[in-house]
Amino acid sequence: MARRPRVLLPNIPVHVVQRGNNKQACFFQAKDYAVYLKKLKESAEKFNVRIHCYVLMTNHVHLLLQASDYEGISHVMQSLGRYYVRYFNTTYNRTGTLWEGRFKSSLVNSDEYLLQVYQYIELNPVRAKMVNHPKDYTWSSYHANGGNKNIAMLEPHPLYLSLGVDSASRKLAYNRLLDNSLSNEILNKIRLSINKSRVLGDDKFVKQISAKLERFAGYLEHGGDRRSEEFKEWLQRI
């Protein structure tokens, strides 16, 4: 079966997930995380991609990125992935693949879901019961978005900047958001969108993106593989 084309557009945030093959660990020591982040920064600068937030878990990564063109995010992930696999295999005297196929991605409706995706990403270690608060997890952008650390690779999204008139007020407001757990409905929407590599947004947003791409960009809640029919079915609903 042919692969679905990615749903990627310029200047719209994208939630990206890449997992270790067979859920194997991708990071074993502090140097591994540091090498990954250094190459992420270099690749993002090279391909003009903004990094809004991230978390590096033991066996997968979550990134919130925004590119200035159609190919930027794919170029970043390809460059980063290949480099890190070479580093990892050399360091641990291994061969073969590290990642579980292609990275997954979900275009995010900023007005509706962006800050919730920020929360989803930076609260990952808390949901995994690794820490009680994101401040206790080292490999996360929380330390810049909600803490007092400067992380040079990050470029805050305008919606995050709108949380306050200055850095202190923004961080306070953001921490208040993190104190309120995401509902199961929101968690499921984010997970379903990323697992299917589809748009995270309401019908209006999906319609706008589908029109730009000239193909259906959302997902339908039905069983079976009906991709050839999904666009026609969706059109009947709007």
Q: Given pLDDT bands bounded at 50, 70 and 90, which one contains residue 192?
A: very high
Query: Is the CA virtual torsion 16, 21, 24, 29 positive or negative?
Result: negative
Judge contact between 153 and 44, C-beta under 8 A.
Answer: yes
Q: Does a structural domain hold residue 162? A: yes
Do 42 and 159 sit in the same domain of this protein? yes
Q: What's the whole-number mean pLDDT along residues 160-188?
A: 95
Structure tokens given for 155? 């470029």
- Compute the average pLDDT of residues 151-162: 96
Same domain, residue pair 192 and 99: yes
Is 82 within a domain?
yes
Same domain? For 161 and 106 the reply is yes
Q: 7: pLDDT confidence band, cut at 50, 70 and 90?
A: low
- Answer yes or no: is 85 within a domain: yes
Q: At 163, is the secondary structure helix, strand, or coil?
A: coil
The residue segments making up the domain with residue 206 are 202-238
Rounded Cα distance between 72 and 204, Å, is 25
Whether the pTM exceeds 0.85: the reply is yes
Strand partners, 169: none
Q: Is 206 left (phi over 0), alpha (psi -120 to 50) or beta?
A: alpha
216 and 143 in a common domain = no
Average pLDDT, the chain: 89
- pLDDT over threshold 80, residue 163: yes
Q: Does residue 103 sit in the same domain as residue 213?
A: no
Give a yes or no: residue 2 inside a domain. no
> 92 near 30, Cβ under 8 Å?
no
Is 25 within the bounds of a domain? yes
Residues 92 and 118 in one domain: yes
